[in-house]
Structure 1
Amino acid sequence: MTQKISDLLETAAARALPVVRGIDDGRLGDRTPCAEYDVRALLNHLFLVVVNFQALAAREEVDFGQEPEFVTGDWRGRFAAETARLVKAWDAPGAEEGTTGQMGLPARTVGLMVLGDLTVHAWDLARATGADFVPERSVLDEVGPGLAAMAPQAREMKMFGEPFPVGERASAFERLLAVTGRDPGWRPPGAAAS
C-alpha cells in the first residue's frame, strides 16, 4: 500500500530536524553542495519550501520568488513548528487528491516534491556542517523513483543539475543525490573524506 504523504513527511522531518537543530550560528556562512547557497541561504530556501508547500496542500497560491529571512531569533524552533504544520497540511482530507499549484500537477506529485526537498536539503545541510544524515528507507523508496521521474523536467527548469556519474555500487540514496546533480561524495573545502 502506498504511504500517505503526511506520514512520509513526518518521517523525513524527524530525520531533518536534528540536522537543523545542530547547526551552529558560526556555520551559517559555510558552503553547501548547492553552489548557489551557503548554509544560511539554504536554510532560508528550505523554510520557504516548507511554508509554501503547506499552502499548496491547501490549494492556495504561493510565490517562490520571494525569499524572506527566516534565520533569525529561534529559527530552529520555528523550523520544527513549520515542519509540523507541513505534516498537518498534507494530512488534511483530500490533500493528495486532484491537482495543485500553478503548474496544475497531481497533488501527490507536489507532495513528493516537498518530500524530496526536505530529504535532499537535509543531506546538503548535514554534509556542509559535518552532521550525520541518512534518510529513512520508506522515504527513500517513495522519493527516489519520484525524483528520477521528475528529473528531466527539473533540469529544464534549472532546479536540478546534470546527473552526477556514480558507479554500479552506489547506494539508492547516492543514486538519488546524483539524479539531482549532486556529487554524493561532496565535502566542504578542507574537510577530510571518510
Structure 2
Amino acid sequence: MTQTIGELLEAAADRALPVVRGIEDGQLGGGTPCAEYDVRALVNHLFQVVVNFQALAAREEVDFGQVPEFVAGDWRARFGAETARLVEAWSVPGVEEGTTGQMGLPARTVGLMVLGDLTVHAWDLARATGADFVPEERVLDELGPGLAALAPQAREMKVFGEPFPVEEGATAFERLLAVTGRDPGWRPGGADGATGSTGTAGTTGAAGAVRS
C-alpha cells in the first residue's frame, strides 16, 4: 500500500526532531556536509523549507529568495510546531492531486521533495553535531527511487553535486546520500564531502528558487 506524503512526513519528522532539538548553542557555528552552510545557516534553511512547503501544499505562492531569521528565541520548540504544521498541511485530503509550485510539478513529487529535505538535512545536522540519525525504512523506500529520478534535473540546476562514489556494499541510505553528492562518511574536521550539494531537489524544483 502506498504511503501518503503526510504519513511519510510524520515518520521523517519523528526522526528529525530529536536531532534539531539536541543542537546546542555552542554548535551553531560548526561546519556541516553542506559546504556553504554552518549549523545555524542549515537549521535556518531547513526552517524555511518546512514553512514554505506548508504553503505549497495549500497551492500558495512562496519566495525562497527571502530568508527570514528563524534561529532566534525558542527556535527549537518553534521548529517542532512548524514541522507539525507541515505534516498537517500534507495530510489534507486531496493534497497530492494536481500540481503545485511555479514549475507546476505533480503535488506528490513536491511532497517527496520536502520529505527529502527533512531527511537529508536531518542527517547533515546529526553528522555535524555528533547526534544519531537513522531514517525509517519506509521513508527510504519512497525517497530512494524519487531522488534518483530527480537527480539529473537537480544536477543541471546545481542543486545536487555529482554522485559520490560508494562501495558495492553501501546501505540504501548511503546510496541515497551519494546521489545528492554527499560523502556518507563525512565527519566534522575531515575532508569536505559535499561536492556542491546544498540540499535536495525540493526547494529549487518546487519553488523555482535559485538553489535548494
Indicate whether the TM-score tops 0.5: yes
AA at the equivalent of 2:25: D
The structural deviation recorded for 1:190 is 6.0
AA at the equivalent of 1:147: L
**In 2, Cα distance between equivalents of 1:79 and 1:178:** 27
**In 1, Cα distance between equivalents of 2:158 and 2:82:** 26
Q: Secondary structure of the equivalent of 1:160?
A: coil
Residue 134 of structure 1 aligns with which residue?
134
User: Deviations 1:53-77 (Å, cap 9, x if unpaired)?
Assistant: 0000000010011111100001000
**In 2, Cα distance between equivalents of 1:178 and 1:129:** 20
The structural deviation recorded for 1:2 is 0.8
- Structure 1 stretches lacking a partner, 5+ long: none
Structure 1 residues 8-157: aligned runs within 5 Å: 8-157=8-157
Classify 1:188/1:15 alpha carbon distance in 2 versus 1 (closer, same or farther; 3 Å).
same
The structural deviation recorded for 1:89 is 0.2
**In 2, Cα distance between equivalents of 1:161 and 1:68:** 26
AA at the equivalent of 1:89: A
Residue 180 of structure 1 aligns with which residue?
180
Q: Secondary structure of the equivalent of 2:181?
A: coil
User: Deviations 1:120-160 (Å, cap 9, x if unpaired)?
Assistant: 00000000000000000000100111011000111111111
**In 1, Cα distance between equivalents of 2:122 and 2:173:** 13
AA at the equivalent of 1:105: L
User: Deviations 1:25-47 (Å, cap 9, x if unpaired)?
Assistant: 10000000000000000000000
User: Deviations 1:150-182 (Å, cap 9, x if unpaired)?
Assistant: 001111111111110001100000000000000
Percent identical pairs in the alignment equals: 85
The two structures have a TM-score, normalised by structure 2, of 0.89
The structural deviation recorded for 1:94 is 1.4
AA at the equivalent of 2:36: E
Aligned length: 191
AA at the equivalent of 2:12: A
**In 1, Cα distance between equivalents of 2:91 and 2:180:** 27
Residue 200 of structure 2 aligns with which residue?
none
**In 2, Cα distance between equivalents of 1:147 and 1:29:** 29
- Structure 2 stretches lacking a partner, 5+ long: 192-212
AA at the equivalent of 1:85: R
**In 2, Cα distance between equivalents of 1:160 and 1:190:** 21
